[in-house]
Structure 1
Amino acid sequence: MLFSGFALQRRLLVAVLAGLLVAIPAVIASAQPAPITRDIAGSKDHPLVPRYEGSLIIGYKTDRFAEVDIPMGPSVNPGVEKRRFERVDAAEGARTRLLYVAPPKRTSLEVMRNYKEALLADGFKTLFECSRDTCGDSIELPFLEFNPSRQLTDSQVTEFAFSANVVDQRLLVVKLDRPQGPVHVIVFTAHQDNVANPTAGGRVAVFVDVVESGTMEKRMVTVQAPEMAMNLGRDGKQAIYGIYFDFDKADIKPESKPQLEEMAKLLQANPGLKVYIAGHTDNQGALDYNVGLSQRRAEAVVRALAMQYGIAAARLTARGLGPLAPVTSNATEDGRAKNRRVELVQQ
């Protein structure tokens, strides 16, 4: 009886081990990344930029309005984690970011040449282009890894594009002038590996960044002087969205004049009123830099009110708060737009 029980246990153990030997390969196989066979759900080509034939979209994101740095020179490396472009311009407008993987056995040169020929044939003009060493030091790093606004992080496959063995880097920046505003297209190609999904590596990846200027929805209206007076009396502050600045600069744009005039009317009608002019940014970029930028912008508003409208400078105090006092989350472009503002705060 003892022997038969031992034999039974042994048979059960053998059966379990046999089952494990069958199951383990299946588990390992199921853990492998699925091959990329189709575009990700919800993605589509930008209507102005055709894809390289046979490519598949693995990353896709759109913003109704965004600020975008436009590379206009090679990558430089002044220190650890400080790689940047020798020169950048700025554009703002509706933005589309696309990440493709090209078919296997294509070269970066072949893919880029197809993009360039197609874009130039549609009327785009070349602003900047480079390849390999002429692109500078590891151009994929300032382009993606050190550029959170460009990097796509919806999945590990997109986050780890260009993550290993990046060679034959090529960058193309083109512009199309239109009556409603210019369109900038940035195309970056390189042969690369993807540590998150080998099926996305060992081939050329293509990053396309499209910025359509002149497409912002004008939803922020000029705040009139009586309304500002009422809100200051009730809340002690007034958010202002009608003061416009060039991207990354403190120069006030001419279209800010209607709002400046209303601010001046408020101060002229209330000669005892003293206010802080508080500058605010979103959370994109380094904290110290954003605080400094918001301070310069607040100072620019003070100068405009004093020099153009005769408001005593002693009544105006500029303070830059950067991203430290948001009115809403910075997780979306709509939220970031609301956080980029000037505020009047009653002293």
Structure 2
Amino acid sequence: MKRALALCAALAAAPLAAQELKLPGGVRQLTERITALDSYDLPVGVYADGSVPSKRLEGQVERRTWRFQAGSRTTLQILAPLREQLQQMGYDILLDCEARSCGGFDFRYGTEVVPNPDMYVAIHDYRFLSATRGDEAISVLISRNPPDGYIQIIRVLPDGTQPEAPLVVAGSEVADEALLAKLKRDGHVILDDLTFGSGAADLGEGPFASLAVLAEFLKENPRARLALVGHTDDVGTLEGNIALSLRRAQAVRNRLIEVHGIDGERLEAEGVGYLAPLTSNHTPEGRELNRRVEAVMLGG
């Protein structure tokens, strides 16, 4: 009996297992503040009756933020893979809401947010998630200020526990594998981390993880060929949008040639304007999703 109690005590005092949470490719960490003993009010419900329902937690509090190029990804597209990973790690979701259902302005200013410029929250475009696993708690806040996306993660560990490694290991392996799998399966894939100026055809500085993945694929498959196809929303004339979408596709083609060393004979560029929307152009979110460049697999 004494040996069993001693074993339990040793396990309780042992460091927690390392936890890896994959973030989007190309993230840049902005802040990391770890306080050995602090408190955090974990939101557990949406704003109601003048306040955000929360649970006061005490222990080691870790606050981290990141910025990355969101491209055409929505806040849900950014949050969904993180939520799935947390569930696989054994966390129970307490709250999962988007800006309007969370409480908009009132929720955002009723919960803890790392100050600008290290975290940006658009009042009408954010998502929040809180979860627990035993005595451990975590919150995830996602927002965008196009072309940038922002992630805030706050984790609370019970006093006396010491993790073997930080919670987050930023990496693009998951995104890279998904992009290639979709290209091979469907014959086309959206390059959703690309950024362009509003109404402009100049491709952002990058680096863009999607183009590195395409370049590596083409180098490993010397007979493969791709068409890069630009798409727009429906603002403006068809002729103007076709011209703009073509210039954007050409900019992506040029980047693959000039930066990644791909033979131009293996790349085509086309523009179809607003003729192939993903969704309705009746909302700002829909128009943003429809503005994109896709890679299309061509026959040998």
Note whether the superposition's TM-score is higher than 0.5.
no
> TM-score normalised to the size of structure 2?
0.42
Larger Rg: 1
Task: Kindly indicate whether structure 1 or structure 2 has the higher relative contact order, using CA contacts under 8 Å at least 6 residues apart.
Answer: 2
Q: TM-score, normalised by structure 1?
A: 0.37
Q: In proportion to residue count, which structure has more helix?
A: 1
